[in-house]
Amino acid sequence: MTVMMEEEVTPPFDFDWKTLAEKVILFSLDYERFPYEAEVNLILTDNDSIREINRLHRDMDRPTDVLSFPMLNFASAGDFTGIEEGLEDNFNPDTGEVVLGDIVISVPKVLEQAEAYGHTEEREFAFLIVHSVLHLLGYDHVTPEDAAFMENKQKDILKRMNILRGG
């Protein structure tokens, strides 16, 4: 697995965010039984930058905590059949890894939401990554049913990793 990381801002975290990001991405992919080696881009930015990205790509002129840009289209979430059919488009020819997409996280939102929800910055950061990886794998939360399904997966992944709320 390759996680390419870019810091547009220097995160003031008191934990090793790069190691955590890799662990959470890998665990989430394993949890979903993703059958390929994967490549993910992770970008840490500020509220102004994520607001602009949100405006350009989602027509929402406000900052948000995380944005996901999947590179694959799935017939249904978590169904990885057919990936090999797009061999040239879906795999990095240099590494053989499936290019899953980009995760963009607002560092100020991580700090703000950790405080607002009463848990650690580490937990909030991990949660946003799990949430985004599930989006990269085709999950969404448009309907209440989809939202509940995705929330249960997020909670289970974090629980299995022992990254719990409030701590």
Q: Please report, for residues 90, 124, 155, the alpha-carbon distance to residue 109 in angstroms, rounded to integers and kept in the order given.
A: 31, 9, 20
pLDDT in tens, 58-107: 999 999 999 999 999 888 999 998 888 766 788 999 999 999 999 999 99
Q: How many helices (H) and strands (E) does the chain have?
A: 6, 4
- The pTM of the full predicted model, rounded to 2 decimals, is 0.95
Residue 88: phi, psi to the nearest 5? -70, -35
Confidence of residue 121 (pLDDT cuts 50, 70, 90): very high
pLDDT in tens, 1-24: 999 999 999 999 999 999 999 999
For residue 23, give the 3-state DSSP assignment: helix
Reported in sequence order, the residue ranges of 56-161 that DSSP labels E, i.e. its strands, are: 66-70, 98-106
Mean pLDDT of 112-133: 97
